[in-house]
Amino acid sequence: MTMNAITKSLLSMSFSFAIAVAVPALAQEPPGGMPQPVPQTPPTHDFVSHIGSVTGHADKGKEDYRRWCIGCHGPYGDGNGENAPWIEPKPRDFTAATFKCRSTPTGMLPTDEDLYNSITRGFNTSNMPQWRPLTPQTRADLIAYVKTFSPRWKTEKPGDAIKITPETPVNIESIARGNALFVKLECWKCHGPLGRGDGPSAATLTDSKDMPIKPYNFSTGGRLKCGETNADIYRDFMTGVDGTPMPSFADNIKPDEAWDLVHFLRTLQTTRPSKENEVLKAAGGKIPVIAPPAAPPAQESTPAPQQEENKPPSGGK
């Protein structure tokens, strides 16, 4: 908190000097010759990013940040840019270093590549644009600069990317097992029984900044924030969407089950063309209801579908 205040006042000085004389104020002696306070954060040039063979440099990223990002994310990276009051959800506060889209376990820093992919992709259903028009070098420089806003990038290492096992076959049994997991793990409480973002808890959810937040509505088929592939969806619920109520289920879901769940979630995107929707259609549009995977020791590997028709998991049974 105090550290933050110091950083802020230093940065604001640096900022106004930079505008006036285009020289970073921290390196300057004020007219009276008084020594400047030593900055608490490491110098900008200490921060780099590595994306494939491209190395990003924060010194360069600083200029690009002021040009492209400052209006939303703010001069101090705290998400309080001049456009922020009119934006919902709010621009990310980089001082917390909490990021939604990661390949790393919940609570851990993302990899440079995760951040690079996020800014390249942009965030659907938000004002965060996609930055594909900027060169890979510029995007890498920006990522290095984003890291200067939080000391976590000096004291912690990004986590190791979670393992994603090879995708299992898409078939109606897999979809049915995924449906059972969706019920058992209570995804529906937030996402709603048909994935429409209208579960019983949906209206009361808030993010880590106490701002209201809506669960993803699968039925729109809209772009997901953290990527469009089946592996991206797998990652969403195995790493969690940090800073939001969307938890990590890494401790509750085995790898094959995760694929089952992905296959089922795709069928909730009813209007989006997918292998999963083709399989469901071929099965007459009905997902067989199977017992939830409570995993008694001698369970059959392919549970036999039961007679009942698929019903939304209302009531959470």
Tell me how far apart the alpha carbons of residues 240 and 197 are, in angstroms, rounded to a whole number.
17
Residue among 85 and 273 whose Cβ is closer to ligand HEC: 85
Task: State which residue, 25 or 184, has the beta carbon closest to ligand HEC.
Answer: 184
Shortest separation between residue 31's beta carbon and ligand HEC, angstroms: 35
Smaller CB separation from ligand HEC, 71 or 159: 71
Q: What is the closest distance, in whole angstroms, from the C-beta atom of residue 152 to ligand HEC in the complex?
A: 14
Site residues, ligand HEC (CB under 6 A): 68-69, 71-73, 83, 87, 89, 91-92, 99-101, 115, 118-119, 123, 126-128, 131, 142, 146, 185-187, 189-191, 201, 205, 213, 215-216, 224-226, 233, 236-237, 241, 244-246, 249, 261, 265
| Closer residue to ligand HEC (CB): 172 or 213 | 213
Q: What is the SS3 string spanning 64-100?
A: HHHHHCHHHHCCCCCCCCCCHHHCCCCCCCCCCCCCC
- Residue 20, token pair as written in the block: 């006036």
For residues 50, 51, 55 and 56, what is the CA-based torsion angle, rounded to 10 degrees? Answer: -90
Structure tokens belonging to residue 192: 């709603």
Non-local (6+) Cβ contacts of 40 within 8 A are 3, 6, 7, 10
Least distance in Å: CB of 288 to ligand HEC? 20
**Closer by beta carbon to ligand HEC, 175 or else 233:** 233
Radius of gyration over every alpha carbon of the chain, rounded to an integer in angstroms: 23
Least separation, in Å, of the C-beta of 106 and ligand HEC? 13
Q: How far is the CB of 38 from ligand HEC (least distance, A)?
A: 28
Spatial CB neighbours of 285, under 8 Å, sequence gap ≥ 6? none
Closest CB 299 distance from ligand HEC, rounded Å = 20
Nearer Cβ to ligand HEC (25/216): 216
Is-contact 208 219, C-beta < 8 A?
Answer: no
Contact 100, 110 (CB under 8 A): no
Q: How far is it, in rounded angstroms, from Cα 259 to Cα 254?
A: 9
